[in-house]
Amino acid sequence: MKIDSNQLTEQLQNFCGTETFYSIAMLKTRFTDGIKYLAETANCFWLVTDASIMAKSLQSKSYFITIDFKRLSEDEQHLNSKEAELIYSDGNDNILFKQAYYSTDFPLDELRLFFVDDTLMLPGEY
């Protein structure tokens, strides 16, 4: 199912809490209904996996981790030779790690996720 970015953003805002937890058994992490919807609708299971792996590795630095996907402006893309990045922080603007993506078909220009208790979630599901 293909959805435009405005529709996707609107749908993601409707998730509050979760009824079911899904797991990535090899990583021993979980994700919520909203993350499952995002992964299926935007075909971005890579985002769920990448965010889970890196956030899990950063847990010793912070219990609560924010993960921000950010597509760079065209000028920044040409200057830095990358299209987007995931920025991991402790929720208080202390950056823990930045992960570069040289190319992506992710439909949104920005997105925030939370990682707490080995669980990846949308902010509305926290």
Render pLDDT for 44-89 as a digit per residue (tens, 0 to 9): 999 999 999 999 999 999 999 999 999 999 999 999 999 999 999 9
Q: According to the model, what pLDDT value does residue 3 have?
A: 78
Identify the burial level of 114 via C-beta atoms within 10 angstroms of its C-beta, where 0-12 means exposed, 13-18 middle and 19 or more buried. Answer: buried
Q: Count of H helices and E strands in the chain?
A: 4, 7
Cα separation, 102 vs 85, in Å, equals 9
**pLDDT, mean over the chain:** 95
CA-closest candidate to residue 39, choices 26, 48, 30, 31? 48
Is 14's pLDDT higher than 80? yes
Is 114's pLDDT higher than 70? yes
Is 2's pLDDT higher than 80? no
pLDDT band, very low/low/confident/very high, at 10 (cuts 50, 70, 90): very high
**87-107 per-position pLDDT tens digit:** 999 999 899 999 999 999 999
Q: According to the model, what pLDDT value does residue 1 have?
A: 54
C-beta atoms surrounding 100 within 10 Å: 12
Q: Mean pLDDT over residues 106-115, rounded?
A: 97
Which pair of structure tokens corresponds to residue 60? 């010793």
Is 27's pLDDT higher than 80? yes
